[in-house]
Structure 1
């Protein structure tokens, strides 16, 4: 079996590459390519077709996307192209080469007013990212009707730069000691990238066996936390002062962040079999510890507090 993972240099893409290690897997990257990853511009139909024509994969996973708000504001046309156009082109390419497709979407397609959200719940995105992800879903369904769209919440795990996840940015704010206000209204459900990747692998296996799971499925951790709640957990775990961190409502007050997008994913475990659930309280320390130094990742491991 052969797999192509688009967006393999990102947080989720790196985990998906590992999860598909039992296949002959090809990963792609654009601006952060390294090692064995293939340089592919996912907004180029020719580049996508060329790769898929050479590899002839059985399954394609589309992890391409841009979630960072700073990029939305600084380069909105490029962010839209990466989130919407790339999704359509990858879906068209997968259909043409006869591959099964798993497309990654987001809980931000919902407005957060009526959780939990089932796969059939009506989307109503509040911000540009959510609207782009919803447009991408429509484009994927039109281009590749047999694709499965997997909606995920915010992810965490070992990162390569602080802004790759909210969690590491929060860790740096806690460690800096500088006064900061963090939202204590909007609830996130941080899910480990390796857990999400295992779900991707199980979905791909089910598709390859001809199992129908529906056009949209959800996966999420069960523990909900605000940014302020995450900051307090980090401070307690590493015995750091938190007097400089204040609870606020900045994200909620802006009106473009959903308050609670909890995903209902109760039907998926029955279809996929048991997936290892990673508890945030246990899993987050290794992800944030290297970023507690003001200058970036520490060169050595800090002593693990008991």
Structure 2
């Protein structure tokens, strides 16, 4: 980008858990960089965003041609494993077909695409995973995201995938993240009349704070804007391993409640999930990109913002 030029970023899925954090991070310094941020949303549309349904391919093409962005961040997806397992065609429509349309259109207008993917492209048997390790998804969600990665890079090899693990951050609903969704059951279990809350103690996760991911994405966009485009597969992850049982214990400490938690030592989910998909973040770290907020610090700050916890 030449000095003084206007750099336009299309943020697709700006109303979601990650999209909101990215929108806030980009907006906080957009004026200083002379960046223009164009946000889209499907259902939670506000005055700052444009309504866009990724299943409407003609609308997607028209939006991109009208917006003419320099870069496109795709934060929209079907990310619920159980939904993907029960409705594979919908998962493919959102996670593969829509991304293929975006990739093809982006290449025709000269836009760089950064698409969000998942650690679930791996089977969780041999961590840590590097970007060039062979994927082996265990469920329809992981397969759809892997197929989306391949569709994107086949459409434009200069584009980029950012794989992420379990996310949490400022939320609009307790169930928006698998981290904060544990909180109501934790609080309920503290009532002496209630039984212990069952919590998975089998799978190791790496909770990653969405404002930190937003800093990573801003850094990647800055590289592209400066002419040092990052292409191919990249990964970012929190570095604190913990099961949902561990997460629940930490949340209970922050809330200062005497929670009764029952550790589940074997898988109980109907949809198969990997045991440990720790992602190596070395490629981005080597570029000086990244930030990690300690989990206890981040979750304490989050819960202080939402003092009224509903009991399930």
TM-score relative to the length of structure 2: 0.88
The alpha-carbon deviation at position 20 of structure 1 amounts to 2.0
Number of equivalences: 294
Match of residue 96 from structure 1: 108
Which of 113, 117, 126 is residue 105 of structure 1 equivalent to?
A: 117
1:275 matched to 2:286: no
Shift in CA distance, 75/34, structure 1 to aligned 2, threshold 3 Å: farther
What pairs up with 1:56-95 in 2 under 5 angstroms?
56-72=68-84, 75-95=87-107
Distance 1:109 1:242 in 2: 34
- Residue 281 of structure 2: which of 256, 265, 287 is its match? 265
Unpaired runs of 5+ residues, structure 1, are 297-306
Separation (CA, whole Å) in 1 of partners of 2:110 and 2:229: 16
Query: Of 236, 249, 254, which aligns to 2:253?
Result: 236
Match of 2:11 in 1: 5
Q: For the Cα contact (< 8 Å) 1:171–1:288, is it kept in 2?
A: no
1:110 touches 1:261 (CA, 8 Å); kept in 2?
yes
Native 8 Å contact 2:131 2:280 kept in 1: yes
**Secondary structure of residue in 1 paired with 2:282:** coil
Give the 3-state SS of the residue equivalent to 1:38 in structure 2.
strand
CA deviation digits over 1:32-68, x for unaligned, max 9? 2223210011122211111111111111001111222
CA distance in 1, matches of 2:271, 2:58: 39
Task: Give how far 1:285 is off.
Answer: 2.1
| Structure 2, unpaired ranges of 5+ | 1-6
Give the Cα separation in 1 of the matches to 2:22 and 2:266: 33
Change (3 A) 1:204 1:274: closer
CA contact (8 A) 2:39 2:49 kept: yes
Structure 2 SS opposite 1:166: coil
CA contact (8 A) 2:60 2:102 kept: yes
What TM-score does the superposition give when structure 1 sets the normalisation length? 0.90
Could you list the per-position Cα deviations for residues 110-135 of structure 1 after superposition, in whole angstroms to 9, with x for gaps in the alignment? Answer: 01111100000110001111011001
Equivalent residues of 1:3, 1:20 under 8 A apart:
no
8 Å contact from structure 2 (residues 284, 290) kept in 1: no
CA distance in 2, matches of 1:292, 1:69: 28
Q: Are the structure 2 counterparts of residues 54 and 106 from structure 1 closer, same or farther at C-alpha, using a change threshold of 3 Å?
A: same
Deviations 1:215-259 (A, max 9, x none): 00111110011000000111112111222x200035367671111
Residues of 2 paired with 1:252 and 1:87: CA distance?
Answer: 32
Q: Give, in angstroms, the shift of residue 275 of structure 1.
A: 3.0
- Deviation readout 1:76-102 (Å, 9 max, x if unpaired): 432331122222122122112111111
